[in-house]
Structure 1
Amino acid sequence: MSSARRTGRAVRMLTGLAAVLVAGVGVTPATADESTSPSLPAPSTTGSPTTEPAEPEEDAADVTVEVSVPDETYLIGDEVPLTVTIRNIGTADAHGVVGTAFGEGDFYFYVPREQWQDYAKPDGATLEPGAEVTLDAVGEITSWSGGEARVRVGVQSPDDTKLSNNADIATLDVVPPSQTHLVDGVVFGDANDNGSFESGEGLAGAKVSLSGGGQFLKQETGADGRFAFTDVPAGVYTVEPTSVADGWIGDGPRTVRVDGSDDHTGIELLTRRPLSDVLVPTVDFTERSYQAGDTADITITLTNEGHEPLRGVRSFCSGAGNSNEMYGRDFGDLAWRGEGVTIPATSTETYHVTGLVPEGAADYGFVSLHCNFGRGDNLRGWPSVGDRAKVPGRSHDVAIEFYHDRDNDDFLADDELVPGVTVGLRDRDVDSPMLTAVTGDNGLAKFTGVPAGTHDVEVFGPWRIQDRLQDGSRYEPIVSVHAEWGAHGTRFEIVPGPDRPVPGGSEGPGGDGETDQTGTPSAPAPENDDRAADVDGLASTGVDALTLGGIGAVVLLAGVGAVIVTRRRRGAGQAD
């Protein structure tokens, strides 16, 4: 056999062997048992069918709701009580169960969120299988323009598997707003304080409002004090005298049901003289200065200048909500929810009460107390009075700007800032030396360490502060200093005026000079003191900035090189 033929055969044998090896990779060899075991017979298709066992049903939640309302006739604006029963008739817990209620169509009904208690959105509550809960909620008919007066109450849960029983309907008997009626009455001043209208007590020119159900109407009383609103749609309204001449005070809004009955005709709206006509209160701190945390004693006097005793007089003490207002008050029967006190006719009663000086009073520089005194819950017409006392210890720097509007254009130009004006600050709450400073070229008078509090602002020399507003009224030129927030009210217009000498003959510091708390002028502090000190410190070491910069550059470059070397070394280590 030739060598070429042998070579071809060898190639074919190797090729075949390779194919067998490749095919064998994807074949799992059969074991001896598998090769000898008999095959199972195919299932028979004849005879009785095999019944598969049924899988057990999973537990599921199913929440339902029912609603009922009292069988009454309602008006737009009425509150409607709802009895809502929520059940879980399923076999699993229902989580996040929430209730809802709304009117259908053009009937609008509102239930406040808090009425749903634990079942309010967004979180709701969990209801176990077989459990039920009954809620007593109250909703309001807000408006109605046609169709049936129907309220849809629903319940929801993300676990609910059956939605067809998640709502119930309550149909209400509501008087339609197409029915209209007359609302009339009289506004009278109860001159003899007997609570009833008598001939001659009608008040002319009083403004009366009627509001509710989307309506807001106004009337003015005639010479006899009477008013009338015609064609008022059926509903619930409030009627109130909103403006009465000669200082008479109304007792507040009166609710009327306009339904065709006699309740909305012949309404008597009573007004009284303000209690401030006869009751004169005073409030005084017994000390003029306190520290934060002190218990302060306060003396209150109530004088009845009338000829009848005043019974049930109480106090309502409040303010703007600032942190310097006295709290923790012990006012006894004079407290807002106390029993009240009696002030005999033409006499004065004195009361001693206490309160705590809050920590925030130190930031304001004073503690304050402001109270109204009167009877009932309507504060209108109650006389009010207040007092304050110093709380020293904290301060803040102040800069006040002064300008003269030469051209009267109500715009501040740079050349209208006034230099060289001596300015004084005087603390309202304590007898202390006046602080003085002189305005610089920028019109600013700078003060350092001004005690927190309210300070009267004065100017000296041939100027005075323009303290009259455009409407002719006057204001007090003051600066309020807060230890944290700084000063409020720091720009004043000045006009030429009588030449006023500086108290004590001192002209005060010049330029942007500042004063200390004793009123003694101090020299202006150089700007950027800290940075200047740092430069001086470097100079004293004999090291200049270029040398430091060069060293810094070398250190920076050395650091970069170290990082590069480190990375290279790490890379080499990883390669090894």
Structure 2
Amino acid sequence: MACTARSLSALLSAAALCIGVSVGPAYGDGATSSEPTATTTARPTTAEIQPTETETTTSAPAKTTDPTTGSATTTEPAGTTGPTPAEPSASEPDPRAVDLRLETWFEKDGYFLDEEVIVHARVTNVGTTTANPVWVGSTGESLHHYWTGFGQGAGPVEPGQAVEGKLTSHIIGIVDLLTIEVSTGATDQDDANPADNIATITAPVTVVRGDYSGTFYGDRNVNGVMEPHEALAGLELSISSVERNYRYRTTTDEAGRFAFRDVPRSTYRTFIDLEGWQFRLPDVEVGRGVDPDVLIRGEYLPDRVLTATAAFDRPTYGIGDTAVLSLGLTNGGRGTVPNITAIAVAYGQVPVDLGKFDQYGPGVTLLPGETGRVDVHIPVDDRVADLGTIKVTVTFGSPPFGSGSVQASAIARVPGRRLAVVQGTLGLPWSYTGLGVGVLGPPPYGRVVPDTKVYLRDQATGAVSFRDTTDRFGKFEFFDVQVGLYTVGVVGPWRIVGSTDFSVPSNSYWYPYSVLVVPGPVQPDPDDQPQTTTPQGGVPPATARTTPPTSNDPEQELAATGVGATWLALGGLLTLVTGAGFVTGARRRRT
């Protein structure tokens, strides 16, 4: 019996050990991994005490000049006393509070609408406590409210001390009576008697008015003289004051006339936007003497109404052929465009005869909707064959030529001649003025750009014809190149400096080439090949790294400790089985 008790005791001890080692570490880990939660206590803030807005009495004298009579007068500004606040009481001031008294007045009794306005303010500390700092503010019909002497606060202002400042401004809008409310106070300090911290003052305003009129016409024959058929009727225009916020609109009548009546004295600017026309619009003075009456001439803007086209009759030519360039110009405007001339710029300075559009001739006049055409003949000789490309850009304009122009361009190929190799260097500019001027030089400036793809795109066909990757010296080479005009491009984070035209004539004096680049937006590969190299001096892209997530969640930490607890549980189970075996063996020996 005793043996049986001992065996049962051993079995129970083994079971307890199994449960303890399995569960204990899990709860222990969870408890030790808890972090205390930080507690943030909000810092109390001090509310800014604003002065109580009440009406007050204005008693400062003002000596001014009447703008109508010019006589000097001395006036005592009249004011009204408003209600006093309940707390603190004027009869029982708080001994800890400051007591400021405001006096304010205009420098003159009256003003013209466009005249500069000056307002004075005096603040006296009549209390027993120092005020620091003292501010003054105002509202009313003025352009701004910045007070000199009180801009950043005046102070400290000792008991019995007075400080002064002034406001210099202009009147906004059109008013007959100028009203400004001025207030004062001490920042973060109560005032014992806030009733005398606010004052409202007024001054009469005189408005001087005048007229602005004129005529608009379109000089269709470009002779500088207005003729009856050139009046621009129904034209919408506006004027705006240069000094003030005055704006007015009107429309011209059948004779091209307009008029703005009784507008306030000011300098006015005229605005108009009419398709196809350019105007030299004057600034006029209104209300300062004789009312202006102006004649405003309109000139055609060709770039608004003209459309130009250019095309060769064939895409390719051979030596001995004659290339025919057809030029067209259409007037899409409502009026006649006279004296249109043109200039031509040809690749390789090939001569181009523009015929009736020649810049030294009388030009061409186009009626509304009319199209003018001219065919330009270019002989394809040995010189043109050396260039490999015929490209002409024509610019059309109407006098004055600088008032606007339109362009058209055409290109054709002259295949046949080729170069065995074209070499060049890709690098950073040693100096760059912003005009595409630069040369290669020694490091650190002018260093070469290796391992970068360079390609040539045929300007006539638009196809990428040649490509290469620069070596460690920044060199690139294209083999068996047909002479002609190309566009050079690079792949990667670079921007080509200056023109991208890449001329490959048969003349050898063009070589070797220097292609200058500066860091810029990433340029794609026209062949859709991935670009994995890093430019010299550049920074390779950062490699993304994955970091295991961390957490302060006790449940996740408990789950993490469960892996170790599992092995402890297995050990406890093994101990339990072993104990059961001992009990069974003991019973067999007893029997």
Q: Taking structure 2 as the reference length, what is the TM-score of the superposition?
A: 0.35
Question: What's the TM-score, normalizing by structure 1?
Answer: 0.36
